[in-house]
Amino acid sequence: MTNKEIKEIYEDELLKLQTELVKWQEHVKATGEKYVIIFEGRDTAGKGGMIKRIMERLNPRVVKIVALGVPSDKEKTQWYFQRYVQHLPSGGEIVIFDRSWYNRAGVEKVMGFCSDSEYREFLKVCPIFERSLAHAGIKIMKYWLSVSAEEQDKRFKERLKSPLKRWKFSEMDLLSREKWQEYSKAKDKMLSATDTNFAPWFMVNTNNKKRGRLNCIRHLLSQVEYDELDYDKIKLPERQVEIDHSNRPPKSHQNWVPDFYAK
């Protein structure tokens, strides 16, 4: 499909996919399954927008987003995976990582925030760590959102111009532009070391954000099995009818938000 055609069908297709995501969520909740979904990619690749569309219709008590900031001084002394482990799903939960332990294979490596020995140890241990999660019944899906250098430049410039997007821009973004090739090499090594049959990487072209979102969500749903729950069995009980209103405080004594938009 052309970009124009994608734009025309986007809202309808997204709603259909989100409907299926709700069915999957309810299946996970009912069966006690555990999922981890990881989104990685360069700055401006569309991770936030992708996660937002996935979460839009879902229950945040079942599907949780983890987006950790810079580790504290205490966390820097811990086993590297320790601060991520506490966010792993319990039964009946889906956890989405907006960046994850793969920071060590990307930004930490490129920017020199970890030593070479720590980096090599990560690439060696990470598949073992993820295998242990799989053995514990946690299903892992990993997506790398791929954006071209030209498209990234365009999005960076849009961020600088837009007051709604400017907060996304950081000093690290500037450095990432300067180190494009280093990031490419780090990504290639990461994929080579951590693309396994129990936790494979899937690449998503997000040069067109709408197309990328539809493709990724459709693929995600194709990787899981779920049955639609039977809501026909749910019956609404009769609502209790209030008879005596004398003991209730008058609405005039309550602080109501002004109806600014009243005609």
Q: What is the pLDDT along the chain (263 residues), one digit of tens a residue?
A: 888 889 899 999 999 999 999 999 999 999 999 999 999 999 899 999 999 999 999 999 999 999 999 999 999 999 999 999 999 999 999 999 999 999 999 999 999 999 999 999 999 999 999 999 999 999 999 999 999 999 999 998 888 888 888 777 777 777 778 899 999 999 999 999 999 999 999 999 999 999 999 999 999 999 999 998 887 777 888 888 877 777 888 888 899 999 999 87
Nearest to 170 by CA among 69, 252, 73, 58: 69
Q: How far is CA 188 from CA 123, 151, 181, 191, 242, in A?
A: 12, 20, 11, 5, 66
- Please tell me the predicted confidence (pLDDT) of residue 169: 72
DSSP letter (8 states) at residue 32: T
Query: Which domains does the chain possess?
Result: 3-226 (3.40.50.300)
- Looking only at Cα atoms, what is the longest distance across the chain? 74
Q: What is the pLDDT of residues 151-182, one digit of tens each?
A: 999 998 888 888 888 777 777 777 778 899 99
- Which residues pair with residue 133 across a beta bridge? none
Q: Which amino acid is at 96?
A: I
- Please tell me the predicted confidence (pLDDT) of residue 83: 96
